[in-house]
Amino acid sequence: MHFIGGVPRPLGLGLLLLGLIAPISGLGFRRGKLDRGFLGEPSKIPTLQRSLESEDLWFEQKLDHFKASDGRTWQQRYFVNADYYRNDSSAPIFLMIGGEGEASAKWMREGAWVHYAEHFGALCLQLEHRFYGKSHPTADLSTENLHYLSSEQALEDLASFVTAMKVKFNLADGQKWIAFGGSYPGSLAAWAREKYPKLIYGSISSSGPLLAEVDFREYFEVVKASLAAYKPECVEAVTRSFAQVEILLKHMIGQRSLDEKFKTCTPIKDSIENDLDMANFFENLAGNFAGVVQYNKDNSPHATITIDDVCDVMLNTTVGPPVTRLGLVNDMLLKESNTTCLDYKYEKMVADMKNVSWDSETAKGMRQWTYQTCHEFGFYQTSDNQADTFGGRFGVDFFIRQCMDVFSKNMDAKFLDLVVSATNENYGALKPKTTNVLYVHGSIDPWHALGLVKTSNRSLPTIYIEGTAHCANMYEPVKTDPPQLVAARN
């Protein structure tokens, strides 16, 4: 899903799930997604198991599952860990679903699911998602080639993979396959059980958005609520800081002051008349808080700065007025992403995003995940009310414009409404026609707004963890985990 994928900064799902856009050369958070995908690696602190190797394995996959006459194939990467496998007809198979970033072999040795595997004697497999990491179905990432990138093709990949692995490992029909995924793969885990109940016995869907939505305005509402849960005054200070940015923008001296405070790569005076540049500028500043909230206190390499850290800066009156404190928060995030200046130029972002080479920076997931949001999900994290905390500069039109400028002029508002409706129709949105899926969400994570958080049907149980963020239950357990997270994992 900012997604999940991800929404990737392409959209945040998160992603992991989904896991949307601002300048690539700016912060590492775009559309709710870190450059490395929503989920990232399984632990901040390497465990002893991590040193054990998991080699890249390759599976011959069809390019187009929906066209029988198309015989083209490609090599899809996967990983195996059989260390805990009981190798009898009752042992389960655990399938970790890859998402909107490179699949990490570290998940084969770490993460909560590995502890479950040890307990149940399971065989562990992880399949990388088509078009991410090293799983390259086509020669490049042209818009024409991205036609083969969709959740439906990815689910067919999973079905083919499961069928082939049953033969490869001589698995009995009665052995239960359990799918795991976080962020966008959390959605895929739920949908895999829905679409292939004969192959997937059950799924654990962590932080997976089920409702596709073009204008995901709830995202920043949860960001505000999560900041307020630490201290209500924090939201007030953030609101005042954004209002002060607007005031400073009105005058040349104020604009120069903002350049200094926010370490802009190019002077604001050159962009003040460019609404797209200014939308990008504000979306970056809001994204600073979104990224911190989304991964707050996860045992994840993403989560180095917490809500407490940014709110303590925003409430520190000794360093200057709120706008100065907002600049200090921006400094923290620039430093974390090893970036020297804040790049908010819209045309540069679009030019970077249009690079179709597998060797480009955007090929780490941003171009692909953005395409998926434009073609299936929306998930655009907007703020279009001038009186609101994050202002009114980046409404849904800003994100739809990116789809049109990066991929195709046909991807307009009407197109987005159609494809998002089709996605919800296909998968059932918040009323899935499935059973035996466990949906897990954290109250701090903005993606919970698009997921199932209440149990209304015993065959679709939910766990809602107060005070935890995106995919928190999936990461390697640590002694400092709060009791409600420990209980959720159990």
Q: Which residues are catalytic?
A: 183, 445, 470
Supply 344's token pair. Answer: 């908010």
What is the Cα–Cα distance from 396 to 401, expressed in whole angstroms?
Answer: 9
**Taking the CB of residue 413, how many other CB atoms lie within 10 A of it?**
15
What is the Cα–Cα distance from 334 to 332, expressed in whole angstroms?
Answer: 6
Where do the H-state alpha helices sit in 85-231? 112-120, 151-168, 184-195, 218-230
Terminal alpha carbon distance of the chain: 25
What is the Cα–Cα distance from 57 to 268, expressed in whole angstroms?
Answer: 49
In Å, what is the CA distance from 183 to each residue of 2, 19, 32, 190, 217? 10, 6, 10, 11, 18
> What residues does 203 pair with on adjacent strands?
179, 437
What is the Cα–Cα distance from 397 to 384, expressed in whole angstroms?
Answer: 10
CA-based angle 19:467:186, to the nearest 5? 30
What is the Cα–Cα distance from 463 to 452, expressed in whole angstroms?
Answer: 9
Supply 394's token pair. Answer: 């980046």
